[in-house]
Amino acid sequence: MKTNQNFIFLTDVESTNNYANHLVLSKAAGHGTVVLAQYQKMGKGQHGNRWESEFGKNLLMSIILVPHFLPAAKQFFLSKIASLALVDFAKSENAEVTIKWPNDIYVGNKKLAGMLIENSIKGNRIDSSIIGIGLNLNQERFISDAPNPVSLNILTGKNYDVVAVAAKMSELLHIWFEKLQTGSFEEIDVNYFKQLFRAGEWALFAKQGIQFEARIIGIGEFGQLVLEERNGSLAEFMFKEIEFVI
């Protein structure tokens, strides 16, 4: 393990989120600490999914945030700002990306990045948050059964310095974090919806294996997806209650 200011560099680890969580629990790290690994043995995605990454090729990082000012009821804003930071970075590399609700980053119908956010709540406030990010940078071939991965290298032909990207991502996330801290909720909401995958477009979704056509018209107070069906009826869905048909 090597450290550099707020960065902790690991050769391999079970999970950067798990490592960061141990640091938080032992009070060994504070706000802004970044855990960066070349390889994760048990890389975690949303809902227990695994994240495939070739050794040293991609960005595998977790950032510790301490948003004591944020009510627990507004915790989805952490997902929004992390997504927007990823969008900002990808667009700086001329990658035309969108946010596939809740926080996957897509280029067309291909997945470029994903994240796992784990919050600790004390009373009615967020005590700490660990933002785990997996961003495909230099990997050229994917061998898992993930249906649609893509990397920035495949898109741009460039090779990326993983540490430099981690530093830039940390910087971009803190820009959005400061907006959150100053109460710029509407600005965050507008930008998140503007970048949302298939927002306002008629598309196929699946609920319990049954497909239906609808369009995204909003995001609810607690992060739920708000859909309008063809007959004009509205419905709200929390995570894993609905799937995109891609």
| Domain boundary assignment for the chain | 2-194, 203-244
Burial of residue 245, with CB atoms counted within 10 A of its CB: 0-12 exposed, 13-18 middle, 19 or more buried: exposed
Neighbours of 76 (CB within 10 A): 19
Joined together, the tokens standing for residue 103 give 């926080």
pLDDT band at 89, cuts 50/70/90? very high
**pLDDT at 219 > cutoff 70:** yes
- At residue 106, the pLDDT reads 97
pLDDT band at 3, cuts 50/70/90? very low
Per-residue DSSP letter, 161:
-
- Cα 162 to Cα 183: distance, rounded to the nearest angstrom: 32
**pLDDT over 70 percentage in the chain:** 93
Joined together, the tokens standing for residue 22 give 């141990």
- At residue 245, the pLDDT reads 96
Q: Taking Cα atoms as reference points, which of 245, 174, 198 lies closest to residue 98?
A: 198
- At residue 2, the pLDDT reads 56
Fold of 203-244: SH3 type barrels. (2.30.30)
Helix axes 76-92, 185-194, angle to 10 degrees: 60
Contact criterion met (CB below 8 Å) for 197 and 225: no
Residues 170-216 have pLDDT tens digits of 999 999 999 999 999 999 999 999 999 999 999 999 999 999 999 99
Fold of 2-194: BirA Bifunctional Protein; domain 2 (3.30.930)
- Cα 94 to Cα 146: distance, rounded to the nearest angstrom: 24
Contact criterion met (CB below 8 Å) for 238 and 207: no
**pLDDT at 42 > cutoff 90:** no
**pLDDT at 45 > cutoff 90:** no
- At residue 47, the pLDDT reads 46
